[in-house]
Structure 1
Amino acid sequence: MVATAPAPPAPAAPAGRPRTSALRERRRRGLVAAVFLLPAFVLFVLFFLGPAGLGLAYSFTDYRGYGTPEFVGLENYLTLFADSDFYSSLWRTALYTVVSVPFGYLLTLLISALLVSRETKGAALAQVIFFFPWLISPIVTGVIWRWMFGENFGLINYLLTLVGASPAQWASNPNLALSVVILAGSWGGTAFSMLLFMAALRNIPTSYLEAASLDGAGSITRFVRITWPLLRPTSFLVILLGTIGAMKEFAMIQALNGGGPGTSNVLVVQYIYKTGFEQSKIGFASAASMVLMVILLLIALIQTRFDRSDLS
C-alpha cells in the first residue's frame, strides 16, 4: 500500500477581508439611503431653502414685486420694529395660540381616549366623522364655519331664533369672532392629533391598567396616573406642531372672516400677506417673515429643551 502525502493546508484568508467586506456593505447601504433621500433633499432645497434664502435677500431690499430691487440694509427691520400694527398682530397671534393649542389638545385627547375605549359604541363611524376635517382644505374649513356662524344667514343664529334667543354678533364682535376662529381651528386640527394619540394609546401595555384596576383604581385615576404620563412624548409632539401651526395660521382665518371685524383679529401671517401682496411691499413683508421664522425656531428650541429637562 502506497502512502500518500498529506494535502497541503488551505491558505488562510487575509485578516483584512472581513473588515473590507463590512466597509463595502456599509458604503452600499449608505448609497442606497442617499438615493432614496435624494428626492426629499431636492424638494427641501427647492421649496424651503431656496425660498428662505430668497426671502432673506429680499428683506434687505426695497423690492415691490417688479423692477430691480435696491439694497436698503436694515431699514425694513427698523421700520417693522417701529410698526404698532406688527406688534398688534403678534399679540393676537400669541393670544390665539395660547387659547387654541391647549383647547385643541384637551379636546383631541378626550376624543381619542373615548374612541379607543372598549366601552364606546360606534367607534369606527366616529373615527370617520372626526377624520373628515383632514380631508378638506383649510379654506373649505373657513367657508363651512362662516356659513355656520354668519350673522344674517348662519345656521347657529337660525337655531338660536328657533328657541327664542337673540342672534349673536359672530362677525361684528371681535371676541366672538376670535372664539369662532378658535373653534374652527381646533376642529380642523383634530384629525391629525387624533391619529397620533390613538396610536399611542393602543401601544400602552394593558397589564399596567389591569394591575391598577385590581388595586381599586377607577377609570379616571387610571387615565390620570398611568395613561396620561405615558403619553408625554406624543403630547409634546402634538403641542409643538399645534403651536407652530397656530402661529402661521392663514388660509382658514382668511376664508372665515379675513381677520375681522376690521383688523381686530389679523394674525401675523395675514399682516405679512397684506403688506406683501396688497401693498406690494415684498421686501418689508420678507423682513416680517424672517422675524416670524426666528420666533418659530425659538419656540421649537424652548419646547424641545423643556421636554428634555423633564426627561432627565
Structure 2
Amino acid sequence: MTLRTSSPASSAQRVKGAGRRVRRGRRSRYRLAPFIFTVATAVLFGLFFLWPGVLGLSYSLTDFRGWGDSEFVGLSNYGDLFGDSEFYQSLGRTLLYALFAVPVGYCLALAMAVALTAQRARGKTAARIIFFVPWLVSPIVAGVIWRWMFGESFGFVNYIIRLLGGDAVPWATNADLSLFVAVLASAWGGAAFNMLLFIAAISNVPKSYYEAAELDGANGWQRFWYITLPGIAPTSVLVILLSSLTAMKEFAMIQALNGGGPGTQNRLIVQYIYETGFERSLIGYASAASMILLVILMIIAIIQLRISKRKNAW
C-alpha cells in the first residue's frame, strides 16, 4: 500500500484558493448589504412620503369629500384658497409663531449647551438628564401641562401672581398672550434635542483656539462670540432649518394647549388643514392647502441652505 503525500506547493495553492473564496464571499456580502439597505430605504420613502404626496396632489385637483365619487375641478381649489381670508389668517399666525419660536428655542438650546460644556460646570450628567426630559414628553402631554400652568382661573402661574397681590393674567382669552405661552412651550419641548446637537458641535471646536484667545486676554463673551459661534455655524444652520420646519408644521402641542384659541385667532396652518379636511369633509380643498404648505417649506429650506453655502464660501 502506498501513501500519497501532498507537496508544500499544492497545500499552499489550496490555502490561497480558500482565502480567495473567503475574500470573494466577504466582498459579495459587503456589496449586498448596502444594496439591501438602499432598496429598503427607497421603498419606505416611496411608500410613506412619495405616494402620500402624489395622492395629496391628485386630491387637490378634485372635489373629494372623503366618500363617494370625486369630480376633477382642476385648479379651482387653489383659486378659492387664495381668496380665503381664514387661510391667510392661519398662515400669517403660523409665520408669526415660527418667527418667535425659532429664535427662542435656538437661544435656549445654545445656552444649555454652553453651560454643560463649560470646564468649571458641575453636575453635567444630572443636568443633561434633566434638560433632556422635556424632549421625551409627548407634545400633547406638554400642551396639557402648559395649559394647566397658565390657566386663567386654575393655573399655577396666576395662583402665584395672586399670592403676590397681583391680578390674574388672561393667558387664554388674550390672543397674543396665548401665542406667547405656545412659544414658551415649543421652546421648552424642542430645546433638548437641539442642545445635543450644539454640545457635539462645541466639543469639536479645537481647544487650542480658546487657549490662544485666553492668553491674548479675551474674556468669556469674546471667546463665545468670535470662536464658539463661528465654529458651530453649520450646526446653527441645521438647528434653525429643523426648528423652522417643525414650527411651520406644529399641530399636536397647539391643539392640546389652546386649540387655536381664543376662538380661531391662534389657529395655525396645520390646524386649518385638519379642520377643513376632517371636520368640514373638504378633503380636496384641504389637500390644496397642504400642497401650498409644502411649497412654503421647500422655499424656506432652499433659502436657508443657500445662506449656509454662502457663509461656507466666505
**TM-score normalised to structure 2 length:** 0.89
Corresponding letter in the other structure for 2:156: L
Name the CA distance, whole Å, in 2 between partners of 1:102 and 1:24. Answer: 53
Corresponding letter in the other structure for 1:112: A
- Show the counterpart of 1:289: 290
* Cα-to-partner distance string for 1:144-175 (whole Å, 9 max, x where unaligned): 10011111111111111111111110000011
- Show the counterpart of 2:54: 53
From the superposition, tell whether residues 61 and 237 of structure 1 become closer, same or farther in structure 2 (CA, over 3 Å).
same
What CA RMSD, in Å, does the superposition of the two structures yield over aligned residues? 1.7
Name the CA distance, whole Å, in 1 between partners of 2:282 and 2:31. Answer: 45
Report 1:81-96 matches (<5 A): 81-96=82-97
- CA offset at residue 129 of structure 1? 1.2
- What SS does the corresponding residue of 2:134 show, helix, strand or coil? helix
- Show the counterpart of 1:170: 171
- CA offset at residue 30 of structure 1? 4.4
* Cα-to-partner distance string for 1:50-77 (whole Å, 9 max, x where unaligned): 1111111100011111111111111111
Corresponding letter in the other structure for 2:202: L
From the superposition, tell whether residues 25 and 302 of structure 1 become closer, same or farther in structure 2 (CA, over 3 Å).
farther
- Show the counterpart of 2:68: 67
Q: Does 1:102 align with 2:97?
A: no
- What SS does the corresponding residue of 1:226 show, helix, strand or coil? helix
Name the CA distance, whole Å, in 2 between partners of 1:137 and 1:131. Answer: 13
Corresponding letter in the other structure for 1:118: Q
**TM-score normalised to structure 1 length:** 0.90
Name the CA distance, whole Å, in 2 between partners of 1:60 and 1:136. Answer: 38
**Is the deviation greater in 278-287 or in 41-50?**
41-50
Report 1:119-198 matches (<5 A): 119-198=120-199
- CA offset at residue 224 of structure 1? 0.5
* Cα-to-partner distance string for 1:193-225 (whole Å, 9 max, x where unaligned): 001001111111111101110111111111101
- CA offset at residue 29 of structure 1? 4.4
- What SS does the corresponding residue of 1:204 show, helix, strand or coil? coil
% of aligned pairs identical?
57
Name the CA distance, whole Å, in 1 between partners of 2:131 and 2:93. Answer: 28
- Show the counterpart of 1:239: 240
Corresponding letter in the other structure for 2:136: L
Name the CA distance, whole Å, in 1 between partners of 2:49 and 2:28. Answer: 29
- Show the counterpart of 1:16: none
Name the CA distance, whole Å, in 1 between partners of 2:25 and 2:132. Answer: 46
Corresponding letter in the other structure for 1:300: A
- Show the counterpart of 2:201: 200
Name the CA distance, whole Å, in 2 between partners of 1:219 and 1:205. Answer: 16
* Cα-to-partner distance string for 1:61-104 (whole Å, 9 max, x where unaligned): 11111111111111111100110111111111111111111111
